Amino acid sequence: MNESWRCAASLSAEQRLEVLNLLNRTEVTLGREAMDEGRRRTVVHGWLAEHWLEYHNGVLENYALLIRSKHATIEMCGGAFDQALLEQLLKKHAVVDWWTRNSSDSFNGDVIRTLQLLRLKLPVPIVEVPAGAVLRNFEPGRDETTWLAQNNAAFADHPEQGEWLPADLDERTREPWFDPSGFLLLEIDGELAASCWTKVHELHPDRFGEIYVISVDPKFQGRGLGRVMVTQGLAALRKKGVNDAVLFVDESNTGAKTLYESLGFHVEREDRLIRFTRS
């Protein structure tokens, strides 16, 4: 028999395994990530959140994770949408923001954000670093404070990347996929001007690369450093035998999109954040 959605503030060891197995099976089926990396990490590490689970004949069939920030924000395994779950959520939260991944469905809500996944075939021409600038790898134990200041300044108005804390960086640099050789820093006159953090999806069948975080300090913007760092990051991925690279960009970020499109990136899919409000 079908059971209604149930909510848990934390997952038991058994539930964590059930959820991770569901995420893994979904990724095999879809050929892409089943859930945003940050939310998946919440499952892996057993952090507190609103974990929503739906069982069918005692077997976990659906999972969704809701995290409260300014508004309750939820993502369902596979990027799907469920009306019954929404109705339950709106009893608890006046506003619910719901991430849908690669969906062409229409929703009775307002699209408040669209993320585009861009893809590119490697290699691409490399733009050399400016004369006098120094390009080097991130050094754990040395660069955390400086990089956080540079990144947060560059993303001061960004909903996810502009308020990173030391713990946020520490969590990611402790992940199995972290490789400082793919985390590039550009220094000009002794200051950290820009950075490009890349990631190789080693376990994916296509083993693709990703421009994970790229930023230019506001004091150094307007000098073409974004193009320098993107191409240098792509070159670092190519050296690791990667043939394809991806990145996410906000649809509204026309400047970044123009840069990426000029390098050959094309839109592979669009993810939308839909806002639902209690009547």
Q: Using one digit for the tens of pLDDT, what is the confidence trace for 159-211? A: 667 678 999 999 999 998 999 999 999 999 999 999 999 999 998 888 999 99
For residue 71, the model assigns a pLDDT of 87
Give yes or no for a contact between 217 and 193, defined as CB atoms under 8 angstroms apart.
yes
Chain centroid offset of residue 118 CA: 13
Question: Is there a shared CATH topology between the 6-108 domain and the 119-270 domain?
Answer: yes
Instruction: Write the CB contacts of 220 (distance below 8 Å, at least 6 apart in sequence).
Output: 188, 191, 193, 194
Instruction: Report helix, strand and coil shares of the chain as percent, to nearest 5.
Output: 30, 35, 35
Q: Which of 57-66, 103-112, 206-215, 230-239 has the lowest mean pLDDT?
A: 103-112
* Residue (of 259, 129, 264) closest to 194 by Cα position: 129
Q: Rounded to whole angstroms, how far apart are CA atoms 113 and 127?
A: 31
Phi and psi angles of residue 178, each rounded to the nearest 5 degrees, phi first: -65, 135
**Angular region, 174: left φ>0, alpha ψ -120 to 50, beta rest:** alpha
Structure tokens at 13: 């060891």
Report residue 1's pLDDT band, with 50, 70 and 90 as the boundaries. very low
Hunting for tokens 């945003």 — which residue is that? 36
For residue 163, the model assigns a pLDDT of 79
Q: Rounded to whole angstroms, how far apart are CA atoms 245 and 248?
A: 11
Mean pLDDT taken over the chain:
93
Q: Using one digit for the tens of pLDDT, what is the confidence trace for 2-43? A: 568 999 999 999 999 999 999 999 998 988 899 998 899 999
**What does 29-46 look like in DSSP terms, one character per residue?**
HHTS-SS-HHHHHHHHHT
For residue 3, the model assigns a pLDDT of 65
Identify the H or E element spanning 118.
strand 110-121
Query: Which residue(s) pair with 6 in the sheet?
Result: 53
Query: What fold, for 119-270?
Result: Aminopeptidase (3.40.630)
Report residue 223's pLDDT band, with 50, 70 and 90 as the boundaries. very high
Phi and psi angles of residue 147, each rounded to the nearest 5 degrees, phi first: -65, -40
Task: Report percent pLDDT > 70 for the chain.
Answer: 97
Count the helices and strands in the chain (H runs, E runs). 7, 12
**What CATH code would you report for 6-108?**
3.40.630
What are the structural domain ranges in the chain?
Answer: 6-108, 119-270
**What does 55-94 look like in DSSP terms, one character per residue?**
EETTEEEEEEEEEESSSEEEEEGGG---HHHHHHHHHH-S
The pLDDT of residue 52 is above 50: yes
Structure tokens at 167: 């713990």
